[in-house]
Chain A
Amino acid sequence: MLRTIIRQELLAHLMSARFFAAVIITLLLVVANAVVLLEDYERRLDRYSHQENVHREKAQEAKTYSFLKLYVERSPNPLGLFSAGLDKRLGGTLEIYHGSVPMISNASARSLDNPFLNLFSKIDLVFIFQVVLSLIALLFAYDAIAGDREAGTLRLVVSHPVRRGSILLAKYISAMICLLLPVLMSLLMVLFLLSISGSIQLSGQDFVRIGGIVLTTSVYLSVFYLIGLLISTTTRRTATSLMLCMFVWVVLVLVYPNWSRFTINPVGDTQAERTSTEEHVNQIWEEVDREEQRFVTNSPLEEDPPWFNLSYHEQGRSYGGGRQMLTSKVKEKSEHLVPHVQKYHEAMETLRIRLAEQTALIRKQSLDKTTLREARWHEHLMKLSPAGLYTFAASAWAGTDLDGMFDYVDAAQQYRRSLIDYLHEKNAFGSRQWFDTSKGEVDWWDLPQFRFERANVWENATRAFPELFLLLLINTVLFTVAFLLFVKIEV
């Protein structure tokens, strides 16, 4: 019996103009935006590989150890096509240097060729589903019960030996099938476009991630269908049901996600915290000067560091972010002083590494209290709407969420540690090649390479799970309430 009702409902939906219109409009929007997004991805990929080459060449140019300028770059995420998240917005270039631990706030972004293009916001595929398909889900649902009641067919159906629960279930299942069809069709179109362009190679794991996004989409759409069903069971007239549905949609999808961000400021002003951290960090760094003083008074070297009273054929120096990059050629007559200078650099750089790690802890704490806390709070607030839950679940699957960005920063920090290990292994800090090239330049052939692997699918799934679970919970509650109401109502 259930099957008969499902078949009948399904046919009614599939033949309807609204299904046709839903498919057409979804496909149109998906294709138009996918073209834009694909091209954008290709451009970013080009820029990424160009930048990486530039960084590599720059690293090889260094003649002394101290002159090493190492940068890492975050590769664009192909799944950003589905859920842009933070992947495109956030800066992806980090400097790797033993005297500073890379943090997410250090990442810098290259500006667009036309920075005004930021005025047009780019739309990802998840946003299309979020807006268009939730609207269509409500349009499928608003007259599901109220319409039948108005037309009198509900009484007819109920008079058959069918349980009311089955009627509700049948309506739910058939509508969900109709809602998933446009999703799957647009997915096919996107995959087709991807295979034509050829610039994106999706791995097996990526397909699982896309599957996760589709799963989340269906759970999200089901929430909206059930909201519509609930409203439809409780109202007498379709017109009323429709208006309530539209109101709910406007509030949940259109207004609330934007409203919460600018209206509620849960963290308050964080400026004081930031300034105090800055002061604290500066205080810690003062130890470098003290240590330098102590060293100079106890050593036979005279005059100011880092050149002291040595004579040079040539000397070069460059500053950047608190670090000193030196290159020189020491004259023969100062040769006897070189070991002392080596000792100086070894002491200073080891101190720098220690202080960098110390300050990184403080910076991290402050970040947790300010920027990160703000971001998390706004996420939580947005998650009060199913649309917010859906957005964040999708970006967690795609790996473009905040956690995905932190994975990258962790990889960069890991790389810094392996760089330090490498320098220790070469005894670089205490070597004369730290600052001097008169006995040969540094050969970087075995410099460790940076590799960033995105989190695996399980990690993505666990990150998406809380949101997915909440969406499922909302589903169950809505379905139960709709069921209870439907059983009780008079037809």
Chain B
Amino acid sequence: MILHIIKRELFDHINSLRFVLTTVILLILMSTNAFVHLRTHPEKVRKYSNNVTKSLDDLKSRTELYTLIRKGPGNLYKSPASLSFIADGDDAYLPRNIYSPGSWSRSGFGSRVRSNWWLSYGSVNPDAKDLRPHATKIDWVFITIYLLSLIPLLFTFDSFSGERERGTLRLCLANPISRPILLVGKFLGTLIAVLIPFVFAVLLNLAVISADSWTQLSAMDWGRLGVILLIAVSYAGIFIGLGLMISAGTREPRLSLIVVLLIWVTVVVFVPSTLGTLSTKWMPPLQTNDQFQTAKKLAIDENNTDYNEQIKATKEKKLSGAQSKLQQLAKMPRENVSPEDIKAAQEEYNSVWQKDGNEELQIKSEFVKKDVEIRERFNRSHLDAQIAQIRRARAVTRFSPAAIVQYALESMAGTGFNRHLQFLDNVHLYKKQFRQFIVDTDRTDNESLHLIGIPEGMSKKAVTIEAVPKFEDKITFKDTFNAATLDLLLLVLLLVVFFSGAFLVFLRTEV
């Protein structure tokens, strides 16, 4: 029986004008998406590999341990996602790399210190010089969140109220069909009717994309594509449930139409952006850029003064011996002092002044290490606060299924905010490996003083470049899946909620 109902629903839909229009628009959008991707993606991949080669070359030119720690590993780049045609993820608004920061050097009391590499996070604002009008990229996310919600609603808004108006619903229920069966039949029939043009368009899109040699999709990509399709299907299902629910709850199709469309406009078009910015209004305000910079500068300056005092005290303590000898010589009568003595005393003084002893080296090494630590701590905590704010804002926008699907698709496609967080994780991990490598290599050299961060204190042996850890921005299927878990769960939950909502409403309506 249920098969019969599904079949009838399906035929009804397929023979309708809306089915034709849906197919046309989905095919146009999906094929544009594929062609635009083919036009722009190779350039991105080329740029990325050029950049990576360049920073590898930089790394290779640093053959000494000290230059490695002073100049760092070079720029670190985020690898472009092969599935970026699915979700652009506003990648233009996320930094694509970690730049090497500037450097400083200080001298005083006869010793010179230079900065070590520290991790700093840039920010990008592509809009600042872009005179073109703002627009959203047409990717699968766009097609899914706007069309796979509007189309199901337009397919279902009159499925009960329209039949009730025409009287066919009463006729249908007069047969020995239970209401749940009818509902399930309508649900599945509509779902299949919506999915036929969608799958058709998706196949066209993938056919175009995989025909090109530049964008080879790996087995993992196909696995992710499967999950992505499931997400799209359940999203369409949610809106079919919503449409059926409203259709069952209202008396006439005109009313259900307007209710359905207004809900759609609010939830899909406005909630994801409005609620996101609105929610930040009620969150504790972030440090402003100026406040952050001042606080950081204060901490750095404090460290500098500490260092100055320490190095001054040590030097003065050491110098005092030579100084008093000089003073003694000056007090003695002229004829008792040989010029050699004066010269020797002066040389001793100069050598203490110019050459750093072990103690000073230790102070310098500590200072440089602490400087890096302070800078990284401040940068990191600022970044963490920013990320926390965005996380909370995104949590609020998850009120809208459109936002959930956007986030889930972005995570699965390997773009967007979650991907950026994974990139940062990779960078942090790499930073640790890189520093550990330097410390470990230094430890193997017995001649070294093991004072990291200053040229005098570190091993002078040439480093084999192959041994230096290289940055690889890799993500595994598990990572992407983990990032999307919450969104996937929420989607399934919403699907259940809306379907059972439609069920309850339909059970209680009079025909």
Contact = CB atoms under 8 A, between A and B. Distances in A.
Interface in A346-378: 371-372, 374-375, 378
Interface in B5-45: 16-18, 21, 25, 29, 32, 35-36
A318 interface: no
Interface in B248-280: 254-255, 257-259, 261-262, 265-266, 269-270, 272-274, 276-278, 280
Contact of B265 (A115, A117, A135, A239): A135
Given A21-B259, A29-B266, A120-B393, A250 B150 contact: yes
A451 B42 CA distance: 47
A104 interface: yes
Interface in A1-58: 17-18, 21-22, 25, 28-29, 32-33, 35-36, 39-40
B246 to A, nearest CB: 12
A114 B389 contact: yes
Interface stretch (A207-215, A257-265, A303-311): A257-265
Interface in B58-112: 90, 93-94
A122 interface: yes
Interface of B: 16-18, 21, 25, 29, 32, 35-36, 90, 93-94, 123-125, 127-138, 142, 146-147, 150, 154, 158, 254-255, 257-259, 261-262, 265-266, 269-270, 272-274, 276-278, 280-281, 286-289, 386-387, 389-390, 393, 397, 417
Contacts of B124: 115
A212 B127 CA distance: 27
B18 A243 contact: yes
Contact of B135 (A32, A251, A258): A258
Nearest to B154: A246
Contacts, number: 184
Contacts of B25: 247, 250-251, 255
Nearest to B135: A261
Contacts of B133: 257, 261, 375, 378-379, 382, 388, 391-392
Nearest to A405: B131
A111 B289 contact: yes
A242 B257 CA distance: 10
A23 to B, nearest CB: 11
Nearest to A254: B146
A261 B273 contact: no
Nearest to A379: B133
Given A122-B277, A247-B21, A372 B93 contact: no
Contact of B36 (A119, A240, A255, A262): A262
Top 10 A-B pairs, shortest CB-CB distance: A120-B276, A261-B135, A375-B131, A115-B123, A109-B128, A89-B127, A18-B258, A118-B93, A91-B128, A247-B21
A89 B390 contact: no
B21 A243 contact: yes
Interface string A83-98: 0001001110000000
Interface in A241-289: 242-244, 246-247, 250-251, 254-255, 257-263
A298 interface: no
A118 B389 contact: no
Interface of A: 17-18, 21-22, 25, 28-29, 32-33, 35-36, 39-40, 86, 89-91, 104-105, 107-123, 128, 131-132, 135, 139, 143, 239-240, 242-244, 246-247, 250-251, 254-255, 257-263, 371-372, 374-375, 378-379, 382, 388, 391-392, 402, 405
A21 B390 contact: no
Given A111-B289, A117-B390, A243-B17, 7 more contacts: A29-B270, A33-B270, A36-B274, A122-B277, A139-B257, A254-B146, A262-B36
Given A90-B131, A111-B289, A119-B417, A25 B386 contact: no
12 contacts: A17-B258, A114-B286, A114-B389, A116-B417, A118-B125, A119-B90, A135-B261, A143-B254, A246-B21, A255-B138, A257-B133, A379-B132
A383 B39 CA distance: 24
Nearest to A371: B131
A254 B268 CA distance: 12
B21 A21 contact: no
B258 A113 contact: no
Given A17-B255, A139-B257, A243-B17, A258 B136 contact: yes
A110 B281 CA distance: 20
Contacts of A122: 273, 277
A114 B273 CA distance: 16
B32 A259 contact: yes
B288 to A, nearest CB: 5
Contacts of B136: 121, 258
A33 B129 contact: no
Q: Max chain A CB contacts within 10 Å: which of B29, B123, B254, B280? A: B254
B138 A90 contact: no
B417 A32 contact: no
B125 A115 contact: yes
Given A29-B270, A243-B21, A113 B281 contact: no
Contacts of B255: 17-18
Q: Max chain A CB contacts within 10 Å: which of B131, B258, B269? A: B131
Contact of A132 (B129, B265, B287, B288): B265
A285 to B, nearest CB: 22
A116 B387 contact: yes
B197 to A, nearest CB: 13
A139 B128 CA distance: 38
A251 B22 CA distance: 11
Contacts of B93: 115-116, 118-119
A372 B129 CA distance: 11
B490 to A, nearest CB: 19
A38 B18 CA distance: 41
Contact of B287 (A32, A113, A116, A131): A113
Contacts of B128: 89-91, 107-109
Contacts of B135: 257-258, 260-262, 382
A121 B273 contact: yes
B280 A117 contact: yes
A29 to B, nearest CB: 6
A116 B21 contact: no
B265 to A, nearest CB: 6
A86 B270 contact: no
A35 B17 contact: no
Nearest to B137: A262
Nearest to B385: A114
Contacts of B277: 36, 40, 117, 120, 122
A244 B17 CA distance: 8
